[in-house]
Amino acid sequence: MKVNKSTLCFSLNACPQVTAEVSEVLSVQIVPKTIICFALTRYVEDLDLNFIGPQSFDGTDIYRLPQHLFSNSSLTTLKLALFVFEPSGVISWRSLKNLSLEYLGLNEDIIERILSGCPLLEVLELYNFMGFRRLDVTTPSLRTLKLKDFWYSCDDDDDDDDGALMQILASKLGSLEISGYLYTMKCRLVNVSSLLDANLSFALDTPADSSDDYEEYGT
């Protein structure tokens, strides 16, 4: 863990001295609550919490983020990896400018609440994302959107053999990056008239006889 008066960074993988069993208990029960409380009471501006550890994907419970984290006026940069992201109340990050989320299930309602609760948000990064099929960027300040790696779930009923469709609406967006592995997901860009820079470098699962599939990507 690294901390100064404005920044706090914690990564479970940065604690090699913690055994696997203890690491599992700490990551689910003790460490997240302690670190989050410490950060909020110290008015930290830059918070980076990464709880991807050796046993992160073995079916054990993942820590549910507390509601008081979702209402904060001091955070300007927030990075979260592998948590249950289900706010029970409002999302209000009035000073937040950079938001990075990894391995979080996010539905369209939560995405809308994030954007409406972050009036100053400039950069949104979603890595290993899942749970939503429409991204309507309504925050005027948002200039950069990065999507990397679709987190495929066998339980996702929306995914069929033809692939799911992701629709992105962003009239004010200046920069867009879609990269990584998208399985069979198709992306449709709608009303991106302000887009100045686009990096589309993703990999797909495409049947050998379906060469036309690539033509479906674009604006």
Using DSSP's 3-state secondary structure scheme, residue 89 falls into coil
Q: Is the pLDDT of residue 104 over 60?
A: yes
Query: What confidence score (pLDDT) does residue 214 get?
Result: 44
Domain chopping of the chain, boundaries: 2-216
Average model confidence (pLDDT) across the chain: 79
Q: Can you tell me the distance from the alpha carbon of 76 to that of 73, in angstroms, rounded to the nearest whole number?
A: 8
Buried b (16+ CB within 10 A) or exposed e, 33-51: eebbeebbeeebbbbbbbb
Q: Which tokens hold the place of 140?
A: 């005027």
Question: pLDDT tens digits for 158-204?
Answer: 444 455 788 999 888 999 999 998 887 888 899 888 999 999 988 87
**pLDDT band for position 209 (cuts 50, 70, 90):** very low
At 6, is the pLDDT very low, low, confident or very high (cuts 50, 70, 90)? low
